[in-house]
């Protein structure tokens, strides 16, 4: 099942994508209107959505809706750094003994087709194509062999990084959390449809240039190991997003540097999920709100 958050006629709610149609949760008033509430409801919500899919009613043509980020305000939005051997090699760093996580503030999240802004304070705007997974059950102390049971599904993340601001602090948080630095989408593919999340092709294009081309089987720490590690320290909750790191080919390591520029298009494609596409523009003056 492909779960989406969409806007139609100025109303935002949850739905599912079937071919070129949105199956509209408006058809069942018991289906929660936000994705976090939907995931929290668990099997009952999924069953209700499947019933709507089977009915072939309450459908809207896909071009008539705006697809939003699947989850706009997760409780946690975490990324892991240095998780692909080839990316570690291009940075010249040593392989970490433990997964190294950072926080992206949820206000950075945008959806498929939304604009990535090159900030006024930096021209070192970089992309990182990544597989992300979404927690579907409240959990703590999850063993590796049970971790697949708490994943609701998978989506695509672009871990946009403002490289100079990223280096202002060892936590990297500010450089990872600029507004529009968290493209997600276009939907969540439920975990039952992803046979092996650790054997998916991941590719990133900037305009027509293929910059990243790898497989998720190159991860140093896999999704289940990340869950086991994190859940020893904190309770994971429905809607939490964990982005799993990027392979080699990031702009900062190109010669010359391949930073994103206004006018360019970034497209990330992951096998079994789809594609996440965003345009780059200069940050406009009218965003000031003081």
Question: Looking at the whole model, is its pTM more than 0.85?
Answer: yes
Domains, the chain, ordered by start = 2-67 (2.30.30.230), 77-284 (3.90.850.10)
Measured distance CA(151)–CA(134) in Å, rounded? 6
Distances (CA, A) of 191 to 47, 105, 152, 272: 15, 25, 6, 11
Residue 79 burial class via C-beta count within 10 angstroms: exposed 0-12, middle 13-18, buried 19 and up: buried
Please choose, from the candidates 195, 119, 110, 128, the residue with its C-alpha nearest in 3D space to the C-alpha of residue 164.
119
**Tens digit of pLDDT at every position of the chain (290 positions):** 999 999 999 999 999 999 999 999 988 989 999 999 999 999 999 999 999 999 988 999 999 999 999 999 999 999 999 899 888 888 888 888 999 999 999 999 999 999 999 999 999 999 999 999 999 999 999 999 999 999 999 999 999 999 999 999 999 999 999 999 999 999 999 999 999 999 999 999 999 999 999 999 999 999 999 999 999 999 999 999 999 999 999 999 999 999 999 999 999 999 999 999 999 999 998 877 77
């Amino acid at each position: 099942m492909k779960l989406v958050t969409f806007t139609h006629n100025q109303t935002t709610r949850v739905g599912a994508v079937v071919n070129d149609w949105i199956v509209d949760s408006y058809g069942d008033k018991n289906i929660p209107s936000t994705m976090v509430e939907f995931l929290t409801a668990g099997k009952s919500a999924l069953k209700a959505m499947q019933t709507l899919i089977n009915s072939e009613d309450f459908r809207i043509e896909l071009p008539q809706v705006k697809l939003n980020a699947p989850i706009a305000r997760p409780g946690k939005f975490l990324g892991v750094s240095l998780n692909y051997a080839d990316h570690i090699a291009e940075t010249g760093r040593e392989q970490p003994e433990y997964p190294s996580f950072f926080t992206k503030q949820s206000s950075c999240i945008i959806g498929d087709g939304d604009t990535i802004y090159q900030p006024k304070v930096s021209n070192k705007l970089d992309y990182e194509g990544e597989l992300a997974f979404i927690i579907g059950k409240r959990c703590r102390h999850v063993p590796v062999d049970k971790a697949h049971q708490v994943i609701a599904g998978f989506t695509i993340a672009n871990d946009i990084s403002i490289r100079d601001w990223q280096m202002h602090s060892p936590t990297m948080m500010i450089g990872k959390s600029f507004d529009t630095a968290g493209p997600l989408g276009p939907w969540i593919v439920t975990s039952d449809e992803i046979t092996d999340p650790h054997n998916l092709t991941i590719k990133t294009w900037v305009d027509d240039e293929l910059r990243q081309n790898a497989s998720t089987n190159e991860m140093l720490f896999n999704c289940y190991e990340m869950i086991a590690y994190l859940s020893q320290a904190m309770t994971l909750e429905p809607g939490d997003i964990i982005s799993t790191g990027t392979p080699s080919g990031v702009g900062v390591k190109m010669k010359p540097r391949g930073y994103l520029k206004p006018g360019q298009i970034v497209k990330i494609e992951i096998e079994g999920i789809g594609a996440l596409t965003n345009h780059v523009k200069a940050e406009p003056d009218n965003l000031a709100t003081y």
